[in-house]
Structure 1
Amino acid sequence: MRGPLLLLLASVVLGAGAAVAAVTERSDGLRPPGLTARTAAPSGSAVARATPLPPALAPAPAVPAPTPAATPTPVPTPPSMGTAPASRALGRPFRDGRLENGVLLPAQGPDHRTWDAPLQRSPSRAWRRWGTDVLVATVLEVLAEHRAAHPESPPILVGDLSRPRGGIFDQRYGGLGHASHQNGLDVDIYYPRKDRLPIEPARASQVDRRLSQDLVDRFLARGAEFVFVGRNVRLRGPKARVSKLPHHDDHLHVRIPDPDGVGGR
């Protein structure tokens, strides 16, 4: 009788253990420790189908917005220079003369150099070489023609014209001074030397008469009103327009007429 009773008790204990294991698995959804692989959830269950989620992707780096192109600064249009006003010779070359809108003769060029007689040097100081636009143009054109006709001639030395605004140009401004040269219509041209040296002649015997006469003729042909020459250089021309004066054995003095008819004679 004890044997069957022991068998019944063992059966009850084993059934209770199985029930506890089943309850434990159902309550947390996980296999309790110590159970073999046979107790895992069957294939096709919710636990078997669950797959790990992929890691979250890092956010793409922010792309900065493109910088708008800078608007170019507009280049200002240079103002029109216009036309320079014409020169005006006022008063007379030897009395009450004035110069308006004068033009500066270049210190040198392909056909000329300037000569500063008081300083005995080249080039001349700028304030000694102002004239009307017509006078400066006439000088440059005549000297270019002379050089083209006589390539062997050295550049011609050009002396005083007028001061920037005209006016008295006497001994206070150096050298012997000028009784005229007051309104931009007068210019001194040094005779070419026989030895071709680029300095003023010291005496009449050093003057190249052939080249000097050519200069006189060309200024007369261009409408010079007067040409004053030295007494000893033996240059010639119409008596009404070519005169011999003292202190002109080293240069000829040209005066052009005033185009406006205001400041002549």
Structure 2
Amino acid sequence: MVRTFLLIAALLAPAAAWAETKANQLFGAMKTASRHQPEALGSYAKGCAAGLVQLPETGPTWQAMRLSRNRNWGHPEMIRFLQDLSVQATRAGWSGLYVGDISQPRGGPMVSGHSSHQIGLDADIWMLPATRLNLSRAEREKVSSIPVRSADQRSVTRHWSASHHAIMRAAALDDRVDRIFVAAAVKIEMCKTATRADTKWLQKIRPIYGHDTHFHVRLKCPAGSPGCQTQTPTVADLSKNGNGCDDTLMWWVTDYLNPPKADPKKPKEPQPRQRGPRDYTMADLPAQCATVLAAR
């Protein structure tokens, strides 16, 4: 009886301790992955991941950057994708890729930075062309990427090149990829310069704020992850409208940058604060995330 009581107490202790602790603090403290079969759990911005693997710090055609963050962990499908795309980058004239944040060792919400990157299926790839693949750990903390979007957000800079276009096209043509987030000016430039014969892949290139120094690749839910939530609407659904290069794209450099002015005579209504990933507790995440977190 005593042994049973102690076992129950041991199992309940973590749950009690986690009840009031923010999930990002718990997942941010994990240094290694869980010893489970790889599985993405939940959604890209509200989930965790079991059995992630670490992208090696340096490979023949890549280097992982900002190693102090310990965010170079991903689902095996993502790690394979990054290695494959880094080879494609060499065909575009780069020495390879500088890879930024993927996920934490067990995924989950982060203490700083991203809202997504929680299930091992998101990765940031630097716009800075890789020229050296022997950067030291110290150099990887200091070197910065380059902006390919102008300060006024309306056009690309001199840093943008045909090689950037080629690498992102290769990523978009990969069936594992769900979508790629870029600055709106990048999407507009790619629409202008794409070969008109085949531009369906451009639908995967999705404009979003920021993303001027990196592009963000998101993979589809992989096999063996029944708990992974597919993003909706899917790019396949969106592709019914073409390649995403229509007039609605220009909203990003019109109303987004210069929104219609509010009527000064109309009183502003208070807006309730929205809960974000840094507010989540374990109760907000899939139930399996407690098992992932507790695993030795």
Residues 1:244 and 2:244 are matched in the alignment: no
How far apart are residue 256 of structure 1 and its match? 0.5
Residues 130 and 206 from structure 1, CA distance in 2 versus in 1: closer, same or farther, beyond 3 angstroms? Answer: farther
Residues 104 and 211 from structure 1, CA distance in 2 versus in 1: closer, same or farther, beyond 3 angstroms? Answer: same
Q: Which has the higher contact order (CA 8 A, sep 6+)?
A: 2
Task: Please name the residue that 2:293 is paired with.
Answer: none
How far apart are residue 254 of structure 1 and its match? 0.4
Task: Please name the residue that 2:286 is paired with.
Answer: none
Q: Deviations over 1:73-101 (max 9, x none)?
A: xxxxxxxxxxx964100000111x11100
- Root-mean-square deviation (CA, aligned residues, Å) is 2.4
* Count of residue pairs the alignment pairs up: 166
Contact 1:153 1:192 in 2 (8 A): no
Cα separation, 1, equivalents of 2:181 and 2:41: 22
Q: Compute the TM-score of the two structures, normalised by the length of structure 1.
A: 0.57
Task: Please name the residue that 1:167 is paired with.
Answer: 108
Residues 178 and 235 from structure 1, CA distance in 2 versus in 1: closer, same or farther, beyond 3 angstroms? Answer: farther
Residues 1:91 and 2:42 are matched in the alignment: yes
Residues 1:222 and 2:174 are matched in the alignment: yes
SS in 1 for 2:117: coil
How far apart are residue 202 of structure 1 and its match? 3.8
Task: Please name the residue that 1:189 is paired with.
Answer: 125
The AA in structure 2 aligned to 1:215 is I
Task: Please name the residue that 1:257 is paired with.
Answer: 220
Q: Compute the TM-score of the two structures, normalised by the length of structure 2.
A: 0.51
Contact 1:130 1:163 in 2 (8 A): yes
Cα separation, 2, equivalents of 1:141 and 1:259: 16
The AA in structure 2 aligned to 1:235 is M
Contact 2:100 2:126 in 1 (8 A): yes
How far apart are residue 222 of structure 1 and its match? 1.6
Q: Deviations over 1:163-203 (max 9, x none)?
A: 1111102xx33xxx11110000100011144x958640045
How far apart are residue 134 of structure 1 and its match? 0.5
SS in 1 for 2:220: coil
Contact 1:192 1:211 in 2 (8 A): no
Unaligned runs of 5+ in 1: 1-83, 117-123
Residues 1:107 and 2:43 are matched in the alignment: no
How far apart are residue 245 of structure 1 and its match? 1.1
Unaligned runs of 5+ in 2: 1-34, 133-142, 150-156, 192-198, 232-296
Calculate percent identity across the aligned residue pairs.
24
Larger-Rg structure: 1
Residues 1:154 and 2:99 are matched in the alignment: no
How far apart are residue 126 of structure 1 and its match? 6.1
The answer to which structure has the higher helix fraction is 2
SS in 2 for 1:125: helix
How far apart are residue 214 of structure 1 and its match? 1.4
Cα separation, 2, equivalents of 1:98 and 1:180: 10
Residues 1:235 and 2:178 are matched in the alignment: no
